[in-house]
Amino acid sequence: MLTTRGLDKSFGSLVVARDIAISLPQGVRYALIGPNGAGKTTLINLMTGMLRADGGQIVLGGEDITALGPEERVRRGLVRTFQINSLFPHLTPLEAVTLAICERERIARTWWKNTADYRAAVDEAYGVLKSLSLGAVCYRQTHELAYGQQRLLEIALALATKPKVLLLDEPAAGVPREESSELFTAINNLSQDITILFIEHDMELVFRLASRIIVMVGGSILLEGTPDEIAADPRVREVYLGGAHG
């Protein structure tokens, strides 16, 4: 579904992506792991076009999207969430998700009709919010929501664009452990048609939910494989799991 070839990126002398080649088949749940500063978020920025790669190629569903801007990539189904909440603080969740749907359906340029007249869009927005148990808070302003609810809204916004490939940057970052398990259950219940790549530091969650794992270190991909392969690999133990499994 999503393939990258030879992606490179440096900030000055710091190489944050070196020859990144990954391939995500449709419907697979991938985890992207690696120590802090490994370049995981940067890789998502490169794939979604928020950062321009210095070199390499990105292909989505057979189409070369390397030259496209982020909006165009989203329209083609490549969508991300943010490690640090990036929401619309003074919109309600209902408004925010409706906004995303209106943009997707290209009705966002209509200025002579009320948003409320687009009943299908509003229904869909409410449905997305309810599916992530945000139905009860969807009339409050986003900045008033509990942190965990805001993390869910991150995902709701992404879902409203009808993604084919969903890149989740530490969806449970900052969420207490009990809640993060719930959050990942919600992610796990998403449609199997959606290809998902998620970044997560909690190894238990990673091994429970990912069907394949990519390990990144120092801007390069160290290894890619099934959870069992990753757990058994001595290099991974050394650089990443060292303490925990050693």
Partner 1 sequence: MAAASPALADPHHYLATQIRWRRIEVVFWLSTLLPFVLTPDYLVLGSQIAVTALFALSLDLILGYAGIISLGHAAFFGFGAYTAGLIAKWGWGEPITGLAIAGAAAGLLGYLMSFVISRFRHLALIMITLGFGLLLLEAANSASWLTGGADGLQGVRMWPLLGAFKFDLWGVTAYWYALIVLFLLFLVARRITNSPFGLSLRGIRENAVRMRAIGAESRPHIRKIYTISAVMAGVAGAVLTQTTETVSLGVLDFQRSADILVILILGGAGRLYGGLVGAIIYLIARDQFSGINPQYWYFPIGVLLIIVVLFLPNGILGGLAQLIYSERGQRWFGWLTAPLRRERKS
Ligand X SMILES: Nc1ncnc2c1ncn2[C@@H]1O[C@H](COP(=O)(O)OP(=O)(O)OP(=O)(O)O)[C@@H](O)[C@H]1O
Binding residues (CB under 5 A) for Mg ion: these are: 41, 83
User: Is 51 a residue that touches partner 1 (CB under 8 A)?
Assistant: no
10-39 footprint of ligand X as x/- string (CB under 6 A)? -x--x-x-----------------x-xxxx
By CB under 6 A, name the one of 4, 42, 81, 142 that touches ligand X: 42
User: Is 87 a residue that touches partner 1 (CB under 8 A)?
Assistant: yes
Q: Regarding beta strands 212-217 and 29-33, do their DSSP bridges make them parallel or antiparallel, or are they unpaired?
A: parallel
Task: Count interface residues toward partner 1 (CB under 8 A).
Answer: 52
User: Is 49 a residue that touches ligand X (CB under 6 A)?
Assistant: no
Amino acid in the structure at residue 167:
L
On the 0-12 / 13-18 / 19+ scale of CB atoms within 10 A, 106 is exposed
Min dist. Cβ of residue 51 to Mg ion (A): 13
Q: Which does 48 bind (CB under 5 to 8 A by kind): ligand X, Mg ion, partner 1, none?
A: partner 1
Coil vs helix vs strand at 94: helix
User: Is 89 a residue that touches partner 1 (CB under 8 A)?
Assistant: yes
Q: Which does 99 bind (CB under 5 to 8 A by kind): partner 1, Mg ion, ligand X, none?
A: partner 1
Strands (E), the chain: 2-11, 14-24, 29-33, 55-60, 63-64, 78-80, 165-169, 195-199, 212-217, 220-225
218 Rama sector, left if φ>0, alpha if ψ -120 to 50, beta otherwise? left
Q: Which residue, among 48, 45, 55, 68, has the nearest Cα to 2 in the 3D structure?
A: 48
Coil vs helix vs strand at 171: coil
Q: Which does 123 bind (CB under 5 to 8 A by kind): ligand X, partner 1, Mg ion, none?
A: partner 1
Q: Which residues bind ligand X (CB under 6 A)?
A: 11, 14, 16, 34, 36-42, 83
